[in-house]
Amino acid sequence: MRHLFGKHLKNSIQMKIIIIGATSGLGKGSAELFAQAGHLVGITGRRAELLHDLQLRYPAHILTEVMDVTEPDCVERLESLIAKMQGVDMLIYSSGIGKASENIDFENEDNTNQVNVIGFTRIIDFAYNYFRKQEHGHLAVISSVAGFRGLKGAPSYSASKGYQRLYLESLAQTAHAYKHKVTFTTIIPGFVDTDLIKNQKYPLTLSCEKAVKIIYRGLVKRKRIIYVNERWRYIVFFMRHIPVYFWERVF
């Protein structure tokens, strides 16, 4: 991915960025692009060896912190990473799990909520207040098209992604009302070829490489909403206007 942006990368303004959940997929790809652009990137994840491998590739631009967002000490670990970086300008919440199944299992649903709701809320609340106090900052969250309508076999995933989308919307409204200088971005990936949909076929699936390029450009431009595949903007509009009766029986 070293030359995907060419001149654009060289001209980017250096920032300090933390990516929560950067051991694979969109989080890892975004970390690589920001590091290539000369930014200082703090990455977190549960798998220390994967964080270390990425740091070895970009030793001057990547710092690491082993973190599980479901553990109560995750905020302390985030604070530790910020201290090592001597500040942070942008935080991207990329951690997320979800699995569709005909059999609704509480353990799976609970695990999804622990990462996508409880862990998300801990991290986002801390980051929002940190940015509010320093009077600048950019909060970005990787949500999903599933956050607009309930999808069969994935109740917690759908609900939790809707929670993330609305949570950020509420924070953005709060920041505007109280003049808190925080920028927000909700990222709607659609289907991307990552481990989340491994060995499954979905329409309009993008490669991870292409998706992270679009996310990178959108974040640099500080877009409020990034549709990684622009066609999903129109599909989501259509989805939201389908009557409940037909959505539950036809789709």
In a domain, 2, yes or no: no
* Residue listed under structure tokens 């607009």: 148
In a domain, 70, yes or no: yes
pLDDT range class, residue 4, cuts 50, 70, 90: very low
Q: How many domains does the chain have?
A: 1
In a domain, 107, yes or no: yes
Q: What is the mean pLDDT of residues 121-127?
A: 98
Q: What is the pLDDT of residues 45-95, one digit of tens each?
A: 999 999 999 999 999 999 999 999 999 999 999 999 999 999 999 999 999
Q: What is the pLDDT of residues 103-122, one digit of tens each?
A: 899 999 999 999 999 999 99
The whole-number pLDDT of residue 5 equals: 39
Of 7 and 102, which is predicted with more confidence? 102
Q: What is the pLDDT of residues 140-170, one digit of tens each?
A: 999 999 899 988 999 999 999 999 999 999 9
Which CATH number is 95's domain given?
3.40.50.720
In a domain, 1, yes or no: no
Tell me the residue range of the domain where 19 lies: 7-250
What is the overall mean pLDDT for the chain? 90
- Our CA angle for 249, 194, 169, nearest 5°, is 65
pLDDT range class, residue 198, cuts 50, 70, 90: low
In a domain, 124, yes or no: yes
In a domain, 133, yes or no: yes
CB atoms within 10 A of CB 118: 15
**Whole-prediction pTM value?**
0.90
